[in-house]
Amino acid sequence: MKTNHMNQVFVHLILILLAAACLFPFLLLIISSLTQEQSIVRDGYSLFPKEWSFEAYTYLWNQSSSLVRAYGITVMITVVGTFAGLLISSLLAYPLSRGDMPYRGLFSFLVFFTLLFNGGLVPTYLVFTEVFEMKNTLMALIIPGLLTNGFFILLIRSFFSTSIPVPIIESAYMDGATEFKIFYRIVLPLSLPILATIGLMLTIGYWNDWFNGLIYVTEPELFSIQNLLNRMLSNIQFLQQTNIGGNNSTAAASLPTNSVRMAMAVVGILPILCVYPFFQKYFVKGLTIGAVKG
């Protein structure tokens, strides 16, 4: 008994240290965003700064109208993209999970093929801008590279194949249920863990995406939060590196570059940290069931 108790204490200590190692970067990030710029330049980043300041958040507050609009756009594309991505991925994964589907192996290979090869950046850009005319539209922030993913489709397919009992589907057939009704009323409710897992991945992908906005969007009214924060940081660096002269030069030199960078990271990551606990209980279960048994 004593040995088991010591083992539990040791395991708990290891887990506490790992949790502290994970929390340390976030704590340093928040404290650095509240540290005076000159203190960071002089003393570096520290958990116990000598001088505190809200100038980074004051700078962001002065851009509040743009931030609110960018937040709204990001929330909208995240919600729409996550819902559409889950719908498309599950609708494709369900027939691939059925053993009686004709050419099932061929379609599975085509999905897997997309994980190995793509058309390249330039052809992809030309297709979405010249053929589909998505430049400077919200669709450019939703569809390219984010809406569907072969890995997600194969993960959901594995979950459907291993975790949805075939007798339940057969009984529904005998009761006269259509294929769509089986999918909507039986398969999806039993697949909540994997759907929550993929939904979280899609949510993080859409929220953190800046690349689509960088190459497809030039109108400031359509900037997502990540693109706006990136542009703001670029503007600060440009002002500091450009010789403007006079009072403007002094003001530009005093801009809180390092602390603003940390404050931007806090503003960008905070919503995801708030959402993650609601998905956590499904995340590990859905990922392990869909991957290990596949």
DSSP 221: G
At 147, list the tokens. Answer: 């809406």
Asked if 85 and 202 touch (Cβ cutoff 8 Å), the reply is yes
Distance of CA 197 to the CA centre of its chain: 12
Query: Hey, how many other C-beta atoms are within 10 angstroms of the C-beta on 5?
Result: 9
Helices 225-241 and 246-253: angle between axes, nearest 10 degrees = 130
For residues 209-231, one letter each, b for 16 or more C-beta atoms within 10 angstroms of the residue's C-beta and e for the rest, the string is bbebbebbbeeeebbbbbbbbbb
Which of 105-109, 191-195, 197-201, 282-286 is the least confident region? 282-286
CATH superfamily label, 55-292? MetI-like (1.10.3720.10)
Rounded Cα distance between 177 and 15, Å, is 49
Q: What is the pLDDT of residues 55-88, one digit of tens each?
A: 888 878 887 788 888 888 999 999 999 999 999 9
Rounded Cα distance between 55 and 34, Å, is 8
Domain residue extents for the chain:
55-292
Name all contacts of 180-186 with Cβ < 8 Å and 24+ positions apart: 183/90, 183/91, 183/94
The whole model's pTM is what?
Answer: 0.79
- Predicted local distance difference test score (pLDDT) of residue 264: 80
Rounded Cα distance between 80 and 203, Å, is 10
